[in-house]
Amino acid sequence: MNIKIHNEHKDDIFNLLVDNLRQFNFDKMGEERSQPLIVAIHDDNDEVVGGIAGRTIYHQLLIEVLWVHDDKRGQGLGIQLMEIAEREAKKRGCIAAQVDTLSFQAPKFYEKMGFKIVGKVSGVKNSPDRYFLLKHYHGE
């Protein structure tokens, strides 16, 4: 047996790792039912000027990215994107949402949207703090 470092992406190795982890998860949790969720805002020229992307899995919305073009910020588009994505997640049976964000990105925005900070990684030299946030949908 030997251990190798690969400094470029290896689809075959990555897919093997993911497939085996999914099988492990299936053995513990049952079928995964991961479904992508993307909501995009298009301008009059059909260019994407903002969006949210993630997936629903294990009754949770996992938010991977939320972005609004600089020229469109401050107009409530981020709130609209979140509301639409969360509404769809609830239709899919989600009871919670989670996201992670860096200190210079949007922790305050997510708190305004009802998320609670459940974890924080800080104190790493030359690196921003990283926040982990969770929102429960019970009672909604």
Q: Over the stretch 55-112, which tens digit does the pLDDT of each residue have?
A: 999 999 999 999 999 999 999 999 999 999 999 999 999 999 999 999 999 999 999 9
- The structure tokens listed for 94 are 């989600």
Question: Could you tell me the CA-to-CA distances from 102 to 93, 109, 125, 133 in Å, in that order?
Answer: 28, 12, 14, 11
Exposed, middle or buried by CB within 10 Å (0-12, 13-18, 19+), for 97? buried
Whether residue 113 is predicted with pLDDT greater than 70 in this model: the reply is: yes
- The answer to whether residue 111 sits within a structural domain is yes
- The answer to whether residue 125 sits within a structural domain is yes
- The answer to whether residue 85 sits within a structural domain is yes
- The answer to whether residue 19 sits within a structural domain is no
Do 62 and 90 contact (CB within 8 A), yes or no? Answer: no
pLDDT at 3: 95
pLDDT at 140: 56
Between residues 30 and 4, the one the model is more confident about: 4
Q: Over the stretch 13-50, which tens digit does the pLDDT of each residue have?
A: 999 998 899 889 888 888 778 899 999 999 999 999 99
Q: What range does the domain containing 41 cover?
A: 35-136
pLDDT at 1: 95
- The structure tokens listed for 42 are 């298009």
E strands present in the chain: 35-42, 48-57, 60-68, 96-102, 116-121, 130-136
pLDDT at 10: 93
Closest CA to 63 of 74, 72, 54: 54
Query: What's the CATH code of the domain at 73?
Result: 3.40.630.30
| pTM for this prediction | 0.84
Number of domains in the chain: 1
pLDDT at 74: 93
- The answer to whether residue 28 sits within a structural domain is no
pLDDT at 136: 98
Q: Could you give the residue ranges of the DSSP H alpha helices within the chain?
A: 11-29, 77-91, 107-112
pLDDT at 139: 62
